[in-house]
Structure 1
């Protein structure tokens, strides 16, 4: 506020200012606003404005991000998917911000209080918070002490105080406003009302609020304590805890928030008020004034009663927002890694949904995932029908020639694992092994409408066993049937904004599906619905067409699917695969719009199209100079490079390049572990402070961030991903708590 506030008290409600009207934007003004948006995005993301402008144009035309990333590389300068999503996200935010600016300017103008200076401040705002701060003095408030004082006619007294006269006495001036008919019964009451008006005016000052937020963030301390120190809970480390706001890591912010929400913790943000009072006095008050002491009291009241609670909410809200963004980012990274786990192809699998009282549900599936048989056994407590269970397992394994037993990692999984390990030892079948998979979301899928349609005659647990078996055969195809946020590979995913989480995770699934591509003749509606440009209705129409007309023989046939228009075809077709069809290129990621380029390429190489997949073609393609050939074919170098890569490996599944999952034949108990022991494990989850690794015991071991590498690690995701097979060494074993600490640093 400072000088500006003293000169323009009318802008904060103490006096009327002459209004400036807000007209609709002309086409020229809209164009300038759009240019401003593009420049802002380019500056924020450190990207050339031209690339941003082209990307925004493509998005506005209805193109999807996977399509732009893969098939419009020349236009965007080879921006990757993450950069494109960042542009899209900032574009939505800033366009929304521009709309809010217009709305705020209109609302202030309607009050007759919009000045040129205020308009310029609103238009220059780069954040929504800045706009709301500027609008705050003009927003319709519910009844406050200040509004009551205004109704009593005390604004002139407040204006006199704010003029900070060198002479005069506040109480004497206040006595002039005593009027019992207006409810002002004494000079003290009049002065108190005027002080309330000034306190609210100060608290609404945009520049002060911005400074206070920064100061509180940089100098504040979050302090927590238990509501009941004798109660046991997972929040015991926060029963008496404090940490500077600026150093709070995201996972700790979310943990504290949850503890507060569950009524276990009391949380407060502490900051020294003296420095704040001094700053406010320097900004607003003259050194020599007859009412300085009164105004110092106003400042203290404004901060303690109005500003401190509000700023604390805003600072904590900003912390929470950043922590949620980090949590969503981690969940998204883990989910992508999980979805892109290499499929275990060509194996007939027995899926096991373990349980105690209700028994283990078994589902035998063939190498395509087709259900062969369902059964139930009771090898775990309290039934302990081990011999009977072994007989059922033996029969299923023999009759259906099963090669892999997949056990869900839920309740009773380790007892079931011990049983299976013992059985494998007795059977002595060299081809038989087992593994544990995350069953997160399996119960969500098995109770879903989709599962009911797929297996109407089965109960929930039996469907779950099928899902567990299939997610080893093809994790992506099975996991897309589950709502992404139900797949538990994050931290505090239930504490973040669910809409934002869903949007982000759906983008991750879309990215993974299009990265791999889908088989047009086998893909489920769930899988097809994540292909670029395809929605749920179109996905069902594709499957219905396939069921009625038989398998697709070419990508072109997609155009016959009802309600699949030209734009949808353009966006999705490159991510669809048709193996063994009429056109060999239909089994590659090459878009049909580039088929003529491929035709010219093969003529240049004097090789017929039917040689795709041969070593002869591979050798010829490896000898091609992309830059020289791109000139000859009049095509962009990035597009040609993608074409050459696709032709060398037609039908390639990019997931196959990753290491396969760890298959086991024997079980490990925590009692078997000792410090220094070397183990192979699978990363199950990556979080801010480390990674959880499945080493074959009941609970996953933790590799703390400090133990991930000999060199400095900024974040665990820089070193490991979900599904990675890693070598670890045991650091420590806590038998009582069942916890194991691990290291990836070789002793």
Structure 2
């Protein structure tokens, strides 16, 4: 499809040959992570995000071409396809334009116009459209078309029927529609009123609200949509009808004559009855779609930041899932996340067994050589934290603690997956384990939870769930493959996100591992049930085997490139076994010109550079560049806060209007977008990301409403 190839090349700023190569790679069943990592020569080095955009755009363009063919065939079948119409459809660049052009020929349910046509009033409608001058008056001309049996018993009724035909003809015209659509987008006001003005709701800001649709921020659109869905708001897109009709009137050929008033009436009717409602609905849909697209993008970016948080290595953990009546569930984990012990302590009301809790923590910490305590940030979190902080201050042991976001932990602990992983544990213990493992390896643990439940989005439950699911699945897949997966320790949940591996294949890998023991060679993957050559090609480079038969299996070097890696090592005077000692520093400096060396070894320069980088730091975890976890804090309660106080916090969520930062009290504080930096900030994600450690200053404390206003701009 040369047209699609050229369009993609132009839009993405690549050569047609590159676009063609990427299309072929995708059509051949290669995954985006595999193409991005191992086919850089073909793609010109396109990254994962660009390739995903390419794939989405390719799907859209192919659907567009398919729809064009369907429309052309349908119009041709009616015998109404002209060369000009065919050309217009073929030149359409968006689906909406195709639908506008096809609309006059689309089969409709019975309308006022179709009834009038059936009664033989189309010739009269043509006279109105042509502004014929032969008749003394419009009613005189209409008298000829009276049709009592058809429902038009007199001249007035016949004239009205003809006007209905004219109104529909004008409304169906694709050029008129395009012009009025542009006018609506440019001038419409989004207006909201309360369904019940006396009711107190979170939507009181919108009880009497109006804002130009083209300027309204996305987060306000989502808030208004939710208020309307909950029945608290009435919403409309208001357009100046008189101005719209005047615009339409100027677009229609005019003459002075007996049919002038009839044409005026038909134009006004065509706009008010047929065009305005659909254009206003369309505008509302566009605003919602735009807002949802933006919210999904923010959600995806936050999710990627969360999944990319640095693992805390060597942490032997007591994880506490706080509660009141039922106490705090406790799970004790070794540094590999294995459950060593579990139980319940009661540091909070009503039992308030502070001393008993401290004794239990002391006993567990000594018995299992614990160095870290993790506390979930939900109900009773701060009361539990206070007791833990006291315990650490009083204990001679080397201990630290931190708060983790427990969003989604209850979803996981009650899931089928959790019951399959730990059938002998109750849901509360599974939840506490999940909290501890989130600190040890956020990525490995969070992939077990529906991404919509991990608490880093905005209005996520109001979004198109299919679109949100696709976007987030792409983020998880990108992050998992960027980090790489230990083939012998990864859960089926984690393996399921590796390029080329379906959830069913992931279970087969785990089953093979359980039956045959640990993998010692990547080639053993070929023995896994239903894991064929294409799946092996896609997944092999992202699956790592530590201490395997071939040291290259512990790296991101793809098996297809092992001969190249071995040749590089030989030229550098090294062996694959030398990789086990932490890599070969400065290997690039020992070798000749990259271009000529790549040609000699039969590979591209990008692939050669990637292999050299991996040999220098084999199996390096890119998450090591992420900020370190912040442990402990002196601020635990609203009463500890004061305006002007300087604090260190962790960014928990990023939304359109700012960032929420955990500063150690129960409620996260909000840094409004205007307080993120001294310069203008287009979007908060340009400044901060989920997981960032930031310095903030307390600006305002609203204890009654539980709100804290923060600033990242140092007070002067």
The normalised TM-score by structure 2 is 0.97
Cα distance in 2 for partners of 1:69, 1:263 equals 46
CA-to-partner distance for each residue in 1:634-688, whole Å, 9 max, x for gaps?
Answer: 4322111111111111131111122211110644222222222111110000111
Shift of residue 500, structure 1, vs aligned partner: 0.9
Q: Greater CA deviation, 733-742 or 377-386?
A: 377-386
Check if 1:316 corresponds to 2:262.
no
1:182 to 143, 150, 153: 150
Corresponding position: 1:151 with 2:110: no
Aligned pair partner of 1:684 in 652, 674, 683: 652
Contact in 1 for aligned 2:142/2:159 (Cα 8 Å): yes
Q: Which residue of 1 aligns with 2:170?
A: 202
CA contact (8 A) 1:406 1:468 kept: yes
Alpha-carbon displacement from aligned partner over 1:33-70 (angstroms, at most 9, x marks no partner): x1101112222333332222111111011110000100
Conserved 8 A contact 2:316-2:370 = yes
Q: Return the match for 1:85 from 49, 52, 56.
A: 52
Q: 2:494 aligns with which of 509, 514, 527?
A: 527
C-alpha deviation, 1:622, in angstroms: 4.2
Whether the 8 Å contact between 1:662 and 1:682 is mirrored in structure 2 is: yes
Aligned counterparts of 1:549 and 1:521: Cα–Cα separation in 2: 11
Listed as ranges, the gaps of 5+ residues in structure 1 are 1-33
Asked if the contact 1:613/1:649 (under 8 Å) is kept, the reply is no
Match of 1:166? 133
Measure, in 1, the Cα distance between the counterparts of 2:120 and 2:386.
82
Alignment match of 2:353 (pick from 380, 385, 389): 385
SS of equivalent residue, structure 2 residue 318:
strand
- The aligned length equals 713
Q: 1:151 to 1:712 in 2, by over 3 A?
A: same
Deviates more, 1:729-738 or 1:584-593: 729-738
Matching of residue 374 in structure 1 with residue 337 in structure 2: no
1:424-435 mapped onto 2 (5 Å cutoff)? 424-429=392-397, 431-435=398-402
- 1:331 is paired with a residue of what secondary structure? helix
1:61-72 equivalent positions in 2, closer than 5 A:
61-72=28-39
| Partner deviation per Cα, 1:552-576 (whole Å, 9 max, x = no partner) | 1111111121211111111100001
Q: Check whether the contact 2:327–2:344 (CA below 8 A) recurs between aligned residues.
A: yes
Contact 1:122 1:134 in 2 (8 A): yes
Match of 1:641 in 2: 609
- Contact 2:551 2:580 (C-alpha < 8 Å) held by counterparts: no
Aligned to 2:452: 485
SS in 1 for 2:314: coil
d(CA) in 1 for partners of 2:159, 2:353: 85
Query: Structure 2: how far apart are the matches of 1:382 and 1:305?
Result: 65
After superposition, residues 224-243 of structure 1 pair within 5 angstroms as 224-243=192-211
Q: Give the whole-Å Cα distance in 2 for the aligned partners of 1:705 and 1:232.
A: 27
The answer as to 2:332 corresponding to 1:332 is no
Is the contact between residue 553 and residue 581 of structure 1 (CA under 8 Å) also seen in structure 2?
yes
Counterpart for residue 21 of structure 1 = none
Answer whether contact 2:633 2:664 (CA < 8 A) is retained. Answer: no
Residue number in structure 1 paired with 2:631: 663
Measure, in 2, the Cα distance between the counterparts of 1:295 and 1:665.
Answer: 75
Task: Determine the structure 1 residue equivalent to 2:216.
Answer: 248
Matched, 1:269 2:246: no
Which stretches in structure 2 are left out of the alignment for 5+ residues? none
In 2, Cα distance between equivalents of 1:616 and 1:235: 59
State the secondary structure of the residue aligned to 1:225: strand
Equivalent-residue separation in structure 2 for 1:222 and 1:369 (angstroms): 52
How many Å separate the matches in 2 of 1:631 and 1:231?
A: 74
| Contact persistence 2:526–2:536 (CA under 8 A) | yes
CA distance in 1, matches of 2:72, 2:599: 53
2:663 pairs with 680, 695, 716, which one? Answer: 695
Task: Tell me the SS of whatever aligns to 1:618.
Answer: coil
- How far apart, in 2, do the equivalents of 1:218 and 1:282 lie? 18
Query: For 1:579, what is the secondary structure of its paired residue?
Result: coil
Contact 1:424 1:665 in 2 (8 A): no
- What SS does structure 1 have at the residue aligned with 2:654? strand
Superposition pairs of residues 274-353 of structure 1, within 5 angstroms: 274-353=242-321
1:417 to 385, 403, 408: 385
Matches within 5 A, 1:357-368: 357-368=325-336
Q: CA deviation at 1:510?
A: 0.4
Q: Tell me, what secondary structure is at the counterpart of 2:547? A: coil
Q: Distance in 2 between matches of 1:705 and 1:68?
A: 37
Alignment of 1:438-477 (within 5 A): 438-477=405-444
Pair 1:669–1:623, CA change in 2 (3 A): farther
Kept in 2: contact 1:421–1:667 (CA 8 A): no
Q: C-alpha separation between the residues in 2 aligned to 1:211 and 1:399?
A: 76
Q: Secondary structure at the match of 1:656?
A: helix
Question: Match of 1:404?
Answer: 372
Tell me whether 621-630 or 257-266 shows the greater mean CA deviation.
621-630
What displacement does 1:402 show? Answer: 1.8
Shift of 1:613: 5.0
- Secondary structure of the residue aligned to 2:99 is helix
Provide the secondary structure at the position in 2 that maps to 1:500: helix
Aligned-pair CA distance for 1:235: 1.3
